[in-house]
Structure 1
Amino acid sequence: MANKTQPSDESVEDYLQTVEPQQKRADCFRLLDIMEDVMGEKARLWGNMIGVGKYHYKYDTGREGDFFIIGFAPRSKNISIYATAYNEALDKKKAELGKVKLGKSCIYINKLSDISEEKLRIVLEESIRINKERYP
């Protein structure tokens, strides 16, 4: 079974222009700049998520597919930032970002000014490194 969420050729910028309120839209454009800079690649729209980079995974169960390495999604209540999961050292760094709620691979923020951009870059860089090692 493959992952149903696939990259599209739709414009990331056009999608982000629809984000409300305006402050969330500005935060999303800033996140886009940060992620593209850290990854060294342009972002793509994956459904209603913005993803940068791509890797292929295959689980022991036989499930496989492609997914982005780092990304984010503007949600109605917050912004979800996606980074590598299941790494204790990285989870500690995520917790040090500032005012966040953490999920397995998600970092939920209300606004970008609630977290340290410098620490976010470190988390994203580490997430990229771990992901590339895990899925060469």
Structure 2
Amino acid sequence: MTGFGVPRDAYGEILSELGETRKDIVVLDADLSSSTKTSSFGKKFPDRFFNVGIAEQNMIGIAAGLSTTGKTVFASSFAMFAVGRVYDQIRQSIAYSKMNVKIVATHAGITVGEDGVSHQMIEDISLMCALP
């Protein structure tokens, strides 16, 4: 990859590159893989990619469960849904248990104005910083 680009494009590319050498990597997405760019990983490694649908809370539970089997899990969605919608599940199932789950949130802040306030999240970082 060269130059500057859209961070979520880089995320999708790097995940796909990591998937080549890291067979322990599993990617979960909540029906937004074309926006979060995890679809590129899914095309290359369909057996390690799970689109859980519009079920972010379940995605976090699945991520925690997969983590207990030694997998390195990347769970992706928009910030509002990856943090705001599922904070309790993150706290209980991932943070307290110290699970190896990477939560990747795209479309953060108020930059998604065209999607409306239901998709805007400005407190995601403060919520995550409060976790143990």
Q: TM-score, normalised by structure 1?
A: 0.29
Could you say which structure has the higher helix fraction? 2
TM-score by length of 2: 0.29
